[in-house]
């Protein structure tokens, strides 16, 4: 077990990962793990490679070296289309809804890999985000930032994934909605879904998560419980603005 892992047989295991885009290497030797039911946050300065970790898990980067395991199966270098079958869902920061499709069609696409539309799961998403039921026939692109983010999460929850990966879920939200968004993520995690989240709003994210990673220049810098990271003088000064 490396210094940056808490277990070697968790849900998601990233080991000594090198990855990037084309010839450009972004991540060097990154270790990371998410255990069953855990809520893990990745923080760090801009350009640290936070999003690249998630994209790499979903096969959207150029894989170079190392391992990514999900439930013990090696998935590094897999085709993005196949990852969702394993029980992982991913909400990218941008372009995370089908704007020209209706709200309901977006949710249907979330369950594309199933043979038929899972009405009970759509209802479950509606129960979690009632505004989506009200807007079910509306074109998704016409909704507000907060509603779009809910739809993006709802789409990702359609297959009831074991691990939900969220890239900057609070980005672009009005300040009063940010708190609400974090509350929703808490509830998703409490219901048993593991969460891996990248957040710019580092303090709030660390307050709420079980564990956090600080990534700098594409490398692991710190790993500890959210509380411990918030309490660490060095981390506070370097990454949390004092």
Partner 1 sequence: MGASATTARGRELLARLGVAVTLGGAVLLLIDLLAQLARVDLWIIGGELAFSQLMNYLWTGLTLGLIIGLAGVGLSLTYSILNFANFAHGDYLTLGAFSGWSVAYVIAGLGTIDLASLILVDAPSSNVGASVTNTPVAVVVGLVVAIVVTVALGLALDRAVYKPMRNSEGISLLIASIGVAFILRYLAALIFGTGRRGITAPSEIPSMTVLGVQVNAHQLTILVVALVAMMAIHLLLQRTKIGKAMRAMADNRDLARITGIPTERMITATWVLGSGLAGASGYMLVLARGTLGFNDGYLLLLLIFAAVILGGIGSVYGAIVGGLLIGITSRVALVWVPGEFGRPVAFGLMILFLLFRPSGLFGGVETA
Binding residues for partner 1, rule: CB under 8 A, are 58, 60, 80-85, 90, 92, 95-101, 105, 108-110, 112-113, 139, 155
CB of 22 to partner 1, least distance (A): 11
Nearer to partner 1, 85 or 187 (CB): 85
What order do you get walking across the sheet with 219-225 strand by strand? 88-91, 163-167, 194-198, 39-43, 211-216, 219-225
Alpha-carbon dihedral 181, 185, 190, 195, rounded to 10 degrees = -170
In whole angstroms, what is the distance from residue 61 CA to residue 12 CA? 17
**Residue closer to partner 1 (CB basis): 46 or 100:** 100
Cβ closer to partner 1: 42 or 140?
Answer: 140
Q: Which of the 8 DSSP states describes residue 117?
A: -
Q: How far is the CB of 140 from partner 1 (least distance, A)?
A: 9
Q: Specify the residue, 99 or 183, whose C-beta has the smaller distance to partner 1.
A: 99
The β-bridge relationship of strands 39-43 and 194-198 is parallel
CA distance 117 to 107: 9
Among 220, 156, 239, which Cα is nearest to 194's? 156
Nearest distance in Å: CB 80, partner 1: 4
Least CB distance to partner 1 at residue 12 (A): 16
Contact between 223 and 4 under an 8 Å Cβ cutoff? The reply is: yes
Least separation in angstroms between residue 82's CB and partner 1 is 8
Using the minimum distance from each CB to partner 1, give the nearer residue, 22 or 72.
22
């Amino acid at each position: 077990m490396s210094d940056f892992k808490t277990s070697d047989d968790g849900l998601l295991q990233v080991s000594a990962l090198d990855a990037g885009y084309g010839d450009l290497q972004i991540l060097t030797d990154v270790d990371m793990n998410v255990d069953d039911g855990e809520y893990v946050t990745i923080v760090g300065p801009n350009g640290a490679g936070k999003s690249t970790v998630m994209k790499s898990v979903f096969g959207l980067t150029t894989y170079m070296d190392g391992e990514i395991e999900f439930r013990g199966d090696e998935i590094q270098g897999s085709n993005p289309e196949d990852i969702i079958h394993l029980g992982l869902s991913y909400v990218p920061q941008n372009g995370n809804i089908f704007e020209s499709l209706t709200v309901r069609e977006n949710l249907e696409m979330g369950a594309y890999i199933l043979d038929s539309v899972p009405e009970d799961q759509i209802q479950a998403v509606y129960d979690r985000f009632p505004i989506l039921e009200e807007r079910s026939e509306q074109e998704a692109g016409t909704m507000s930032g907060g509603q779009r983010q809910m739809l993006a999460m709802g789409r990702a929850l359609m297959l009831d994934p074991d691990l939900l990966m969220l890239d900057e879920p609070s980005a672009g939200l009005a300040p009063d909605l940010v708190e609400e968004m974090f509350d929703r993520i808490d509830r998703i995690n409490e219901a048993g879904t593991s969460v891996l989240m990248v957040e710019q709003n580092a303090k709030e994210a660390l307050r709420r998560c079980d564990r956090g990673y600080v990534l700098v220049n594409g490398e692991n810098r710190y790993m500890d419980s959210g509380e411990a990271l918030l309490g660490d003088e060095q981390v506070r000064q370097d990454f949390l603005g004092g």
